[in-house]
A and B are shown apart, each in its own frame.
Chain A
């Protein structure tokens, strides 16, 4: 009579979360496109507003691409948990018997693959437009591949902390921006070093460390923050 509730395997649960995240994202396509449009517009308008000189643009290109990528990822962060919080699905996620941090890691990775990844695909075209020497493109792409997931993961902590507040949008940026500044510095610093002909392995190692730290630690912080927000 008292058979235990038949439980799911962990991978099956993670697949359910993954499929559902992708489905809801694709049903709200316009909000996926917003950060990309923002990214493109900032980079396109910059030369018009400051100076179209190739020499100047070449100098500014790396930093500009990185700042725009950081800001547009930031823009999409506040809706990471908001609708789930409003309709109560966050409670269900917290009550899932599987470890919450793994479910949240999946959620963050989906967020990155829908905002960070498209940015990375767009960035070579925009960088070339800014006269970045083409031979440094691979380095720039590599730093973006290592850096943007860190922004998504750290941003998840901020989003989880502020999800129960009425107007969390500004607060997320204030909380998260300082933490992402090292990513920005080393991201653009790596490419700059490569342009200046300096060794970049040290820079890359530090970026790799930040990625590993964010991947392993931030889901725990996000899970703790979410549990707190849900219990309000």
Chain B
């Protein structure tokens, strides 16, 4: 899967499901501080990763995902 496709899927999910403004979805955005994602939301991010990319991320994996770019990189490393 191309990185551009990963970016598109994740951004679309964050915009539609989490109702985050698309203009805020820049790679360096901090998930918690800038995008307002809270701990419970990571549970749903794990679900969407499994649905869209076919692998099971763990809560521990998520601890290292601080920025949107971290998330793209993490998914790219697993697909």
Asked if A pairs with B, the answer is: no
